[in-house]
Amino acid sequence: MKLEKLEPFVWRIPQDAVPGMRVPGIVFATEEMAEKAVEDRAVEQVANVATLPGIVRASYAMPDIHWGYGFPIGGVAATDVEAGGVVSPGGVGFDIACGVRLVRSELEWERDVKDRISDLVHTLGQRVPRGIGTKGRMRLSRGDMEKVLREGVRFPLGRGVGWEEDAEFCEDHGVLEDARPEAVSDRAIERGAPQLGSLGAGNHFLEVQVVEEVFNEHAANAMGLFLGQVCVMLHSGSRGMGHQTCTDFLKVIDRVMAKLGIEVPDRQLACVPVEHEAAQDYLGAMYAAANFARANRHVLTDGVRESFEQVLRRSARDMGLYLVYDVAHNLAKIEEYTVDGERKKLCVHRKGATRAFGPHHPELPARYAPIGQPVIIPGSMGTASYVLVGTEQATERSFSSTCHGAGRAMSRTKARKMMTGPELRTKLEGQGITLAASQWKLLAEEAPYAYKDVSQVVDACEGAGLSKKVARLRPVGVVKG
């Protein structure tokens, strides 16, 4: 499949690339990334998404694009709700509302934390449940589960877990009001009940990081970030609750789609018009899973604060462990945009892509109105992570979306063949990174060399006008799921 270069970081997939495309594809990438996306066949998936009924403008891919299932990872697609536009559970993925949050501090690395990092990582490793099938920090009854699904972070806050102001700095203030717990299956509730406040496995992690470069003082100030500062980044999702919800609705939507006679090039793209009852049930259940994901990261943050308190013997408030922002990168939401001069209600799918509202967007907390929405981009283990802000330009360019991470470049098997887990541990420790992993054997699957260079990814996003760099953080302690 051939890509046409439109601008230095913008590539077009012509509308005749695969049969049935309703709009062209747009890939934001450097030349090298674009070539890799073609080779990887992820570009074909961008083209497949362009066949979804009601899709408007284009099927987009962010610079961290790689081969997914159905949608590419890094895919963004918006459909016109009032013109038969569809929602596709595959466009959100199994880990509904998987996302990242950044907690800042008033601590300086050299002065306050460096000497205690081993203890800190060890304590975080103990206080943050992680790995396959782990039980979380809170175990919930069925009634409590329904509350979490409806109330998001308000539920743990009501139990005295976390700080009231945390909610303000969470996407949607930590709760999607349109959630419908009654649309969630018993199985999803059963899977989620023991898991609230658990990190999960695979690429989920928690890192102690240090701000090593500030690109935008104004935005960094608004977020409370400064050079040499210690922060904590946390990447987790909706656990078994979200996985089960996607699994359940893929079956439902697959069946309804067949009845409606909608055809898609990949069964994982199964979709139905947003206004259909099945889609409404899915959206309600998916929002409930998103509430669970936010509450999960909120409860995990409590474990982070406790660990800092235990090791540094100061109160979390005194250490200034405030939430900078919490934002998802696997979600579909109803948002309004102007398309062809008309204001439209769109169902915006972001699958491995982050919402990135520009300055003065009404949904931003007042503190961030002048700078735009903070976007948190985790690098691969052992490499830098970034904090970005959304731009006004991205509204037009990508339905206010940007990248979500480094993006994988190598399969897990290949990554494991290059180095063993213990070898990688030694290497990372040689770089001054303290590590706690739940499984050393498979550590190398998440090795930095298995990912694209996150710096190139965020530079491509900036080059394409999707977001702007604010700060770069380097890891000093890694707790792997």
DSSP type of residue 293? H
Which position among 33, 43, 73, 97 is part of the footprint of other proteins (CB under 8 A)?
73
Cβ(55)–Cβ(85) below 8 Å: yes
DSSP type of residue 101? E
Cβ(27)–Cβ(65) below 8 Å: yes
Which position among 411, 418, 426, 431 is part of the footprint of other proteins (CB under 8 A)?
411
- From 26-34, 67-75, 313-321, 334-342, span contacting other proteins (CB under 8 A): 67-75
Q: How far is the CB of 94 from other proteins (least distance, A)?
A: 4
Q: How far is the CB of 481 from other proteins (least distance, A)?
A: 7
Please, which of residues 370-399 interact with other proteins by CB under 8 A?
none
Which position among 110, 118, 228, 258 is part of the footprint of other proteins (CB under 8 A)?
258
CA distances from 132 to 136, 220, 244, 365 (A): 11, 36, 15, 35
- Give the x/- contact pattern for other proteins in 173-212, rule: CB under 8 A: --------------x--xx--------xxx-x--------
CB-nearer residue toward other proteins: 270 or 283? 270
Which position among 393, 442, 449, 463 is part of the footprint of other proteins (CB under 8 A)?
442
Q: How far is the CB of 242 from other proteins (least distance, A)?
A: 8
d(CA 102, CA 233): 5
- The amino acid that residue 145 corresponds to is M
Q: How far is the CB of 32 from other proteins (least distance, A)?
A: 16
227 lines the binding site for other proteins (CB under 8 A): no
* Residues facing 377 on adjacent strands: 386
The catalytic residue among 204, 235, 276, 404 is: 404
- From 7-15, 106-114, 164-172, 262-270, span contacting other proteins (CB under 8 A): 262-270
CB-nearer residue toward other proteins: 69 or 215? 69
* Residues facing 44 on adjacent strands: none
Neighbours of 202 (CB within 10 A): 17
141 lines the binding site for other proteins (CB under 8 A): no
Kindly give the pairing relationship between strand 467-480 and strand 434-436: parallel
Q: How far is the CB of 290 from other proteins (least distance, A)?
A: 16
CB-nearer residue toward other proteins: 408 or 468? 408
- C-alpha 444: how far from chain center: 22
CB-nearer residue toward other proteins: 360 or 414? 414
DSSP type of residue 112? I
Residues 6+ apart with CB under 8 A from 99: 171, 235, 236, 237, 293, 294, 297, 326, 327, 328, 329, 330, 331
Placement of tokens 């060890």 in the chain: 122
453 lines the binding site for other proteins (CB under 8 A): no
Residue closest to 364 by CA, chosen among 372, 375, 376: 372
Residues 6+ apart with CB under 8 A from 76: 59, 60, 61, 62, 348, 349, 350, 351, 353, 398, 399, 401
- Give the x/- contact pattern for other proteins in 91-110, rule: CB under 8 A: --xxx---------------
- Give the x/- contact pattern for other proteins in 31-50, rule: CB under 8 A: ---------x-x--------
CB-nearer residue toward other proteins: 106 or 190? 190
d(CA 384, CA 194): 33
d(CA 53, CA 265): 12
Residues 6+ apart with CB under 8 A from 4: 11, 12, 13, 14
d(CA 322, CA 324): 6
Q: How far is the CB of 422 from other proteins (least distance, A)?
A: 13
Residues in the interface with other proteins (CB under 8 A) total 49
Active site residue 404: yes
**Burial environment of residue 362 by CB neighbours within 10 A (0 to 12, 13 to 18, 19 or more):** exposed
Strand ranges (E), 177-229: 205-214
Cβ(348)–Cβ(335) below 8 Å: yes
449 lines the binding site for other proteins (CB under 8 A): no
CB-nearer residue toward other proteins: 95 or 302? 95
CB-nearer residue toward other proteins: 198 or 395? 198
64 lines the binding site for other proteins (CB under 8 A): no
- From 175-183, 338-346, 379-387, 438-446, span contacting other proteins (CB under 8 A): 438-446
- The H or E element containing residue 343 is strand 342-351
Summarize as ranges the residues that interact with other proteins (CB under 8 A).
40, 42, 66-70, 73, 90, 93-95, 131-133, 187, 190-191, 200-202, 204, 240, 243-244, 246-247, 250-251, 254-255, 258, 266-268, 270, 408-414, 438-439, 441-442, 445, 481
Catalytic site positions = 404
